[in-house]
Amino acid sequence: MPTRKPRRPGRPQAGTVDLRARLLDTAIETFAARGIAAATLRAIARDAGVTPALLHYYFQSKRNLVDTVLAERIDPFVAASVAPLLKPLPSPRATLRRFLETHMRNIAANPWMPRLMTREVLSEGGSLREHMQANFSAVLSPKVFMLIAAAQRRGEIRADLQPMLIGLSLISLAVFPFAAAPVWRDVAKSFVRGVPGLERRLVHQSRSAPDTETLIAHTLALIDSALENPHAISTH
């Protein structure tokens, strides 16, 4: 029987791919909850239930860990959201609507994204602002603006609104429900407390899992209503 080579000390063996992916998932959740600057390797290791040495084995340093999160979690997210804009449909409005639906589904599948963007992109001095501006906003903003302007020229959407502000409103409508999800039910409860029927209904809803399909359909219906040109024939 051949003699096995001794295992290198500290080197993971079984399930290394799954463990590495789990460590990345934990890192991005910790970054979203605490901010990149405040999240130490020790804190991430504690959240993942591993030793700091194991985290260091996979990623060597915090800078390398952040770069890996960008390459393997954030950049694929961006690519998935932007994809409909790179293959436009004949109708600008239909392309815009497909982009918004795709982006919402992408956020629903990656619930850490709104929290991370709020901390690290929208906040002054955010660690990811420059990266996201170069890799997401630089592609997203001009294409969305041109789609809105084209849809207005074709009479697909109302022409009395500014395209740049329409774009801001659409992105806000698509993202805010997911960013606000942890708090909106508590706020709503305070308004309906003591109102028969409403309070009971809200409590029942809060116990069930969020219905992503309902949320997306609701948001798209609001967008359709807000942009509707009363003289246009629907193209979606």
What tens-digit pLDDT sequence spans the chain (236 residues)? 444 444 444 555 445 668 999 999 999 999 999 999 999 999 999 999 999 999 999 999 999 999 999 999 999 999 999 999 999 999 999 999 999 999 999 999 999 998 899 889 888 888 899 888 888 888 888 999 999 999 999 999 999 999 999 999 998 888 888 888 767 666 655 655 656 655 555 555 544 445 788 889 999 999 999 888 766 544 44
Residue whose token pair is 């080197």: 11
Which pLDDT does position 46 carry in this prediction? 95
Give the type of residue at 86: L
- Helix or strand or coil: residue 18? helix
Which pLDDT does position 122 carry in this prediction? 85
Which pLDDT does position 133 carry in this prediction? 85
Q: What is the reported pTM?
A: 0.78
What are the sequence ranges of the domains in the chain? 16-179, 181-225
Which pLDDT does position 28 carry in this prediction? 96
pLDDT for 209-228, tens place per residue? 457 888 899 999 999 998 88
Q: In the CATH scheme, what is the homologous superfamily, with its name and number, of domain 16-179?
A: Tetracycline Repressor, domain 2 (1.10.357.10)
Could you give the CA distance from residue 176 to residue 126 in angstroms, rounded to a whole number? 19
Which pLDDT does position 229 carry in this prediction? 76
Which value, to the nearest 10 degrees, does the dihedral of the CA atoms of residues 9, 14, 15, 20 take?
A: 10
